[in-house]
Copies of this chain bind each other. A is one copy, B any other.
Amino acid sequence: YEACEKLEKNGVKFQKKPDEGRMKGLAFALDPDGYWVEIVRREKLGWKEYYNLSQTMLRVKDGPASVEFYTKHLGMTLLRKMDFPQWKFSLYFLASLTPGELEECLPLDPENKHVDGLNPELPNTLTKIAWNQCLELTWNHGTEKDPDFKVHDGNAQPQGFGHIGFIVDNLQESCDKMEAEGVLFKKRPQDGNMRGIAFAYDPNGYWVELVDRKATFSGICSNY
């Protein structure tokens, strides 16, 4: 509703407003060519009247290198990049979106559409509405050049944060590909007695768990 009000304020004409007719919560806007654009409540995107877990924030040594890792090797989309040169830090918001989901989201931010997708340099509502969890990376400029700077990966003493995990379709294949591309592994699928999972290191040394989508817990751990 709020979105529709905003669109209307910005001059968008509606064939049907969300409260008109029998189908509440559903609207049809007219695009500049007169096509109807269906606007549904963002149930799919999770705009619920609820709390929802939405981000995990990790500090990183090298922002661009970390973004490259998560986009190139783990298929994440950079939703938003915010540079604060006056405070010498940058924030990156990344999410696991399929192309279809990204397409679904873009009409909500039509002005931020690049030829090749979302423009992470511009504000967008994706980070606010996306139900899919974001990975927020905080990079303090300059740490990448400091050979002594290391983040605490949470697994050294004292322990805390452990890892983030991704579900993958074909664990062995994904790991082989990542390894060929230079990613370091703490545990490859075939190492140890735990099948169906692997642990890679991200450029900061954070553990990244990879779990085969078909794995069951008893399939993972032979002694359980």
Residues of A within 8 A of B (CB): 44, 46-59, 74-76, 82, 84, 95-96, 98, 123, 128, 131-133, 135-136, 138, 150-154, 158-169, 174, 204, 206, 209, 211, 213, 215-217, 224
Q: Cα distance A74–B46 when bound, in Å?
A: 16
Tell which of B76, B123, B164 touches A56, judged by Cβ atoms closer than 8 Å.
Answer: B164
Q: Which residues of chain B come closer than 8 Å to A51, judged between CB atoms?
A: 74-76, 96, 166-169, 174
Using A44-B44, A132-B133, A217-B82 as known contacts, say yes or no to A159 and B54 having CB atoms under 8 A apart: no
Using A160-B161, A161-B154 as known contacts, say yes or no to A211 and B75 having CB atoms under 8 A apart: no
Q: Cα distance A123–B151 when bound, in Å?
A: 35
Q: Which residues of chain B come closer than 8 Å to A95, judged between CB atoms?
A: 53
Tell which of B133, B153, B161 touches A133, judged by Cβ atoms closer than 8 Å.
Answer: B133
